[in-house]
Amino acid sequence: MPGVLKNAIDWASRPAYESVFKGKPCFLVSTSGGALGGVRAQSHLKYILNGMLAVVYPCKEILVTMANTKVEDGLLTDDVVLDFAEVELAGFVASLGATATA
């Protein structure tokens, strides 16, 4: 995980057990210029967010591998990744509605 992100999370995680992340729904997507798409960073981030009492949406990991080759004019152009992410994101959004009405 990039040090800048970890530092920001550390600051936001205070005070312990009362951070701004407590109870907040989280949806993770990672990108990388390499072949693994940030899979290890995403795993570590899920662990950290759980420790901060955030509500990490349980879904298949969304990884954008070789991202440098999949972006044109600032937009992601990989239809396979976009279609996969859209399904998972729709489930996340639906869970927010279910939580709000419960």
Domains of the chain in start order, with CATH, are 3-101 (3.40.50.360)
Given this model, what pLDDT does residue 39 score? 86
- When pLDDT is averaged across residues 39-54 and rounded to a whole number, the result is 90
Measured between alpha carbons, how far is 62 from 40 in angstroms, rounded to an integer? Answer: 12
Q: Which pLDDT belongs to residue 17? A: 87
Q: How confident is the model at residue 102 (pLDDT cuts 50, 70, 90)?
A: low
Question: Under 8 Å CB-to-CB from 41, ≥6 apart: which residues?
Answer: 1, 2, 30
Helix (H, G, I), strand (E, B) or coil at 67: helix
Q: What is the pLDDT of residue 2?
A: 79
Give this prediction's pTM: 0.80
Tokens linked to 76: 């992601």
